[in-house]
Amino acid sequence: MILFEGIISGGTKYTFEYCNQIQKPIFSNDLLKPVNELLPSFSKWLADHNINTLNIAGPRTSEGLSKILPSLSAGK
């Protein structure tokens, strides 16, 4: 899962490009969008790719991470 705010840049961009290179499934989400827009497509992505371990990449200083992760883990 790649989380970003507005545009993918820096280390987050590198991670996105590397995942593409090694053909790993990627779910990317702009944290500037409402969480309720994310959940249906995220749930489908998890099921479609049989994800057992989820790695999350994104900017360290993102306040959006603290807002979105509780909703994802609770499936709200």
| CATH number, domain with residue 25 | 3.40.50.450
Structure tokens at 19: 């995942």
Q: What is the mean pLDDT of the chain?
A: 82
Domain span at 43: 2-74
Instruction: Give the phi and the psi of residue 71 in degrees, each rounded to 5.
Output: -65, -40
Q: Which residues contact 20 (CB under 8 A, 6 or more apart)?
A: 26
Residue 67: predicted pLDDT: 62
Residue 36: predicted pLDDT: 82
pTM, two decimals, is: 0.71
- Give residue 62's pLDDT band: very low, low, confident or very high (50, 70, 90): low
Count the domains in the chain.
1
